[in-house]
A and B are shown apart, each in its own frame.
Chain A
């Protein structure tokens, strides 16, 4: 099972919106609405930001939203803030297996 494909890096200015894509196949992202997204600051453990494609856990800002179209899931962060600068990973159920994306480094300019 190959890793999901994410852009290596994205950037945006404070207040802007950015979108991170996560491309899989019909065996994972395309078959299940079970994509989750994680934020990881340097030296810290990942934090769940989105689950089941578009649901936000309690405590996560509504500036974070998720969606899916076909084999590609997306994470959108609106109203960028300096604290959003981090690595972001997607993850999908793939039939008795879970596969992560390679990660995207978000830089807030």
Chain B
């Protein structure tokens, strides 16, 4: 059974870079047809897609976040990572990672990790 788990600091200072890692277990991140995505949810608000990556390194980014986002993959560790630079309080959210079928759905999702931006 495929499982995803987010990890990283729960508190980041304004203007710094948010860094999270998603570890995939129960399956290979190098599986064809699957991308791996990041989605966030500010407290009490809706979902926002951040970006997705293929095991080869090919990426898609949300145009509204593209200038600040970098997603990378480490196939040897079965992990993919998110970096979001120049964060502000507006970036405070629960960050989820998920398997992403290209052009299509997200499933399964990790349990999510809350990242708070505050000094």
Contacts and interface: CB of A to CB of B under 8 A. Distances in A.
A45 B109 contact: yes
A99 B49 CA distance: 7
Contact of B46 (A3, A36, A96): A3
Interface residues of A, number: 24
In this complex, the interface size class of chain B, counting residues with CB under 8 Å from chain A, is 20 to 34
B63 A97 contact: yes
A97 B110 CA distance: 21
Contacts of A36: 104-106
A45 B110 contact: yes
Contacts of A93: 103-104
A96 B54 CA distance: 13
B63 A34 contact: no
Interface in B70-119: 96, 101, 103-112
Interface of B: 39, 46-49, 52, 60, 62-64, 96, 101, 103-112
For the complex of A and B, 3 pairs with smallest distance between CB atoms? A48-B107, A51-B105, A45-B109
Interface of A: 1, 3, 32, 34, 36, 38, 45-48, 51-52, 57, 89, 91, 93, 96-103
